[in-house]
Amino acid sequence: MGKGKVYGQVYSLIRQERAGLLEALKVFAGLGYDGVELISDFKDGLDLPEFKQYVADLGLDVVSVMGLSTDEQLAFGQAMGARFTVANIPGHPREREELVRVAETLNGIGRNTARFGLKTLYHNHANEFMQVGDTRAYDILLQNTDPALVGFEFDVGWGQLSGTDCAAYVRQYPGRFPIIHVKECDKVAQTEDEFEHFPPASWLSRRASRATSARAAARRSSRRRPRRSCTTRATGTWSSARAASTGRRCATRRRPRAWPRT
């Protein structure tokens, strides 16, 4: 994966149901993503040659495949040109001895996936940032895995939820994070239960409520006073940004009464 490339995680669109994979890939291609991270060897009804051609025709690079374990599945990842696979480790151990055993398990998985040209990655949640003695669970995993066999897919959203300075943490372990999983989180967990859920439903409902109130206030405000905007005759859309990019002069006008609300 070269510098500056952006990949989409298919799981973000289709979740566990997996139906609609082919359409999801079209969406990623249409949005201009360089490639994707797939889920296991699921091909949405196509055989391997058909699926491989479908992805190639969309111009997508398969950088990683989540959850490959059997030789057949690993062979699929290899055939798709993936460089990484994300291992599934159940539970969230909190004792040093347990974490060292998990690290040893990851090393073993890494030796197996290497036979297919794939490097094993571990994907964190927030629990890995909990304190274990004088260190964190994540540190124990990093320090007890072989860098040649095991890498880590750093999930920024879960890291932020834990209150970690994600950029500083990645810099602390250069070369160990070949993939960064980027997603937003503007909260920090305050309880153990919140560490387990991303994002807590209560936060979602409060955020949705605030967003609804803000949109209603914006609509009321737009009716009361003129808005400095610019419109293009071709589309009839208002956009100050468009005015800046096209050089068109903006004028102070009132929105038409029937202007669509968003």
Q: What's the pLDDT score for residue 201?
A: 46
Helix 48-57 / helix 71-79 crossing angle, nearest 10 deg = 30
Which residue ranges form the domains of the chain, and what is each CATH number?
Answer: 7-203 (3.20.20.150), 228-262 (no CATH)
114's CB contacts (< 8 A; 6+ apart) are 149
Average pLDDT, rounded, for the chain = 81
Average pLDDT over residues 11-35: 87
> 28 has which bridge partners?
none
Answer whether 61's CB lies under 8 Å from 6's CB. Answer: no
Average pLDDT over residues 149-165: 95
Answer whether 82's CB lies under 8 Å from 63's CB. Answer: yes
- For the chain, give the longest Cα–Cα distance: 68
Residue 229's CB is within 10 A of a number of other CB atoms, namely 18
Model pLDDT for residues 64-92, shown as the tens digit of each residue: 999 999 999 999 999 999 999 999 788 88
Average pLDDT over residues 147-175: 96
Report residue 112 as tokens.
């197996």
Edge-to-edge order in the sheet of strand 119-123: 7-9, 35-39, 61-66, 84-86, 119-123, 150-155, 179-181
What confidence tier does 17 reach under pLDDT thresholds 50, 70, 90? low
Q: What's the pLDDT score for residue 227?
A: 45
Q: What is the pTM of this model?
A: 0.73
* CA-based nearest residue to 101, from 131, 145, 135, 148: 145
Average pLDDT over residues 93-99: 94
Distance separating alpha carbons of residues 68 and 262, to the nearest angstrom: 42
